[in-house]
Amino acid sequence: MKQGLVVERFDVKDKNGKVLNVVFRYPCMKDAVAALYMVNSARDEAEFLGQRHHETMKSEMKFVETQIENMRKRKGICLFVEIGGELVGDSIIVPTTFDASKHVGHFGIMLREKFTSHGIGKKLMEKMLQLAKKETRFKIIESSYFSENERSKKLHRKFGFKQYGVFPNQCKLKSGKYCDHMFVYKVIKKL
């Protein structure tokens, strides 16, 4: 894995017909400032993210450093999403915390709200699963989403994730309403 290496480029049109040049690339340490702005902005605007607190420069630098190290050791994948030179999202597959489950990676995806519903998330998940299969030791990918998040539900189903659990009312939305937390998995390599 080369830091900052572009792994995919494509164009999409926004709601007004403007062409957006989308880049998926690996992170590098100099991304920490832009990543900090992106993650804190996404957390402010998104209804369905489990983490809502703001990161600090120290915590974001540690995040980027950890993702780079995980990829170097074939223990994870991280891609940043760039549009017009601005970081607008990311996706990770990271190891679980259990020693007995080193063959399982946990998937996460985050995209700034104004860039959703353009097919970017679909392409990002597809690329992440391809890279996980090729560049990691993971055999199973686990993920989760809020039951009220229809986009995430459709995305996981499209890629063949199977539900293995529901935690009733685990997630509290910004509105104060509670919803279920859905747990899903996908086998990507023979066990």
Query: DSSP character for 115?
Result: G
CB burial of 54-76 (b: ≥16 within 10 Å; e: otherwise) equals ebeeeebbebbeebbebbeeebb
Of 21, 146, 26, 140, the C-alpha closest to 78 is 26
CA–CA separation, 44 and 54 (whole Å): 8
What is residue 114's predicted lDDT score, i.e. its pLDDT? 87
- Model pTM? 0.91
- φ and ψ of 188, to 5 deg: -110, -15
CA–CA separation, 131 and 93 (whole Å): 10
Query: DSSP character for 87?
Result: E
CA–CA separation, 115 and 118 (whole Å): 7
Owner of token pair 């353009």: 118
Least trusted range by pLDDT, from 14-18, 91-95, 103-107: 14-18
Q: Is the pLDDT of residue 14 over 90?
A: no
- For each of the domains in the chain, give its residue range(s) and CATH number, in order of start: 6-139 (3.40.630.30)
CA–CA separation, 34 and 68 (whole Å): 16
Burial of 161 (0-12, 13-18, 19+ CB in 10 A): buried
In percent, the amount of the chain with pLDDT more than 90 equals 75
Q: Is the pLDDT of residue 95 over 80?
A: yes
Which of the four pLDDT bands, split at 50, 70 and 90, describes residue 105?
very high
